[in-house]
Amino acid sequence: MYIYNRWGEKMFYTNDITKGWNGYFRGVRAMQDVYVWRADGFFLNGTPFELAGSVTLLR
């Protein structure tokens, strides 16, 4: 999963399904804003997927 800011800068990345974004970037709380997420992987039957959307970070 990837999280990007409005300028396309990668804010977060993980390939661990149990790990999520805590709202921090480089040890500092990220600004309240809308961020884009993207996740890609494989379903159990081997079919690849790529999903994307947005998330609003509120403080």
For residue range 1-10, list pLDDT tens digits in order: 999 999 999 9
Instruction: Report the mean per-residue pLDDT for the chain.
Output: 96
The pTM of the full predicted model, rounded to 2 decimals, is: 0.85
Question: Look-up: residue for tokens 């494989």?
Answer: 42
Question: Look-up: residue for tokens 């709380």?
Answer: 29
How many domains does the structure of the chain reveal?
1
- Residue-wise burial string across 26-59, b where 16 or more C-beta atoms lie within 10 A, e elsewhere: eeeebeeeebebeeeeeeeeeeeeeeeeeeebee
Read off the pLDDT of each residue in 3-30 and give the average, rounded to a whole number.
Answer: 96
Read off the pLDDT of each residue in 13-42 and give the average, rounded to a whole number.
Answer: 96
Which range marks the domain in which residue 16 is found?
A: 2-57
pLDDT at 59 over 90: no
End-to-end CA distance of the chain: 22
